[in-house]
Amino acid sequence: MLLTIFGNGVMANAMIAGLLEHGFNIEVFGRDEKKLQTLSERFRSQVIVSVYEKGVDISGKNVILCVKPYALDEVAQYIKGRASTLFSVLAGTTIEKLQESVKAAHYVRAMPNIAAMFGKSTTTLTGDKESKEKALKIFGAIGKTLWVGSEKELDTATILAGSAPAFLALVAESLIDGGVKEGLKREDASFLAQGLFESFSALLDNYSHPSLIKDAVMSPNGITAKGYAVLEDYKVRSAFIKVYKGI
C-alpha cells in the first residue's frame, strides 16, 4: 500500500522506519527541499520525497498528515483531489476541522507517541469505522493500537500516550539526579533508571492494578513506605491527575 505523508519532522521520521519495515511504500511531501533530502538519505532512498508547493493531487490515496497543527491551513492550500482516507496525527485538530481543510472519503485521527521510532508507540485511533481496519494495519506497524469511540477519548489519550513520555522523562531524570546527589555515579544511576522502566513494564503487564505493585514492595516502617509518604506530601499523585487539564 502506498502512503502519502505530509511533513518531515520528528513524528514523520519516527513512523517511516516501522512503515517501511512492514512493506508500505512511502512518499513524503514537505516544504524544505534540504530537509526532504536528509530524510531520503536517512532511509536510503526507499522513500520518494517532493516539495508540495507545486500542488499535490491526493485523489484515491491514503494520506497521513504529520505537520504541526497550526500548519494545516497553509499545507491544505496545496492539496488537490479527494483522498481515500485522511489520517491525521495533529494533536487537538478535530475531524470537523480536517473535513473543512482536506477532502477525503473517510477520516481517522491517530495519536502515536515518540516511541514509534523503535516500533513501540501505543497509538490511539478514532474516526470513520470504514477505515478502522486500514488504520489498525498502518499504525500497527509502529507499535500497539487502540481504537476508541470518540474524539474526546482520543484527546484524553493524547496526554496519557502522546505527552506522558515527557512526564516520565521528568520522573527518570529526577530519580537519576537524586541518586547522583546521594553519591551514585551518573552512568550507574542512568543504567538503573533505564532498567527500572524496562522492569516496570513487565510489572504493569503482570499485576492487575498498579497499587498491588506498591503493596508488594512496601514493608512496615520500611524505606519504600517513607519515600512514598514524601511523594504524597508533595502531592505527586494529584499533580499527575491534573496534567490532563494542564492546571
Ligand X SMILES: NC(=O)c1ccc[n+]([C@@H]2O[C@H](COP(=O)([O-])OP(=O)(O)OC[C@H]3O[C@@H](n4cnc5c(N)ncnc54)[C@H](OP(=O)(O)O)[C@@H]3O)[C@@H](O)[C@H]2O)c1
State the residues that interact with ligand X by CB under 6 A: 7-12, 30-32, 35, 66-69, 71, 74-75, 89-91, 111-114, 162
CB of 227 to ligand X, least distance (A): 30
- As given in the structure block, the three cell numbers for residue 80 are 488537490
Tell me how far CA of residue 128 lies from CA of 19, 86, 138, 180, in angstroms. Answer: 22, 10, 15, 50
Q: Are 243 and 159 a contacting pair, CB within 8 Å?
A: yes
Looking at the DSSP bridge assignments, the partners of residue 115 are none
Nearer to ligand X among residue 155 and residue 189 (C-beta): 155
Nearer to ligand X among residue 164 and residue 196 (C-beta): 164
Nearer to ligand X among residue 90 and residue 125 (C-beta): 90
CA nearest to 104, candidates 120, 87, 86: 86
CA nearest to 182, candidates 124, 122, 223: 223
CB of 186 to ligand X, least distance (A): 26
CB of 77 to ligand X, least distance (A): 10
Nearer to ligand X among residue 18 and residue 162 (C-beta): 162
Angular region, 217: left φ>0, alpha ψ -120 to 50, beta rest: alpha
Nearer to ligand X among residue 16 and residue 83 (C-beta): 16
CB of 40 to ligand X, least distance (A): 14
Q: Which residue has the cell 492546571?
A: 247
Nearer to ligand X among residue 85 and residue 158 (C-beta): 158
SS3 for 32? coil
CB of 68 to ligand X, least distance (A): 4
Nearest residue to ligand X by CB is 9
CB of 7 to ligand X, least distance (A): 4
Give Rg (Cα) of the chain.
21
Compute the Cα dihedral for 3, 97, 129, 159 and give only its sign. Answer: positive
Q: Exposure pattern of 223-235 as b/e (b: 16+ CB <10 Å)? A: eeeeeeeeeeeee
CB of 175 to ligand X, least distance (A): 22
Nearer to ligand X among residue 75 and residue 95 (C-beta): 75
d(CA 108, CA 194): 34
SS3 for 26? strand
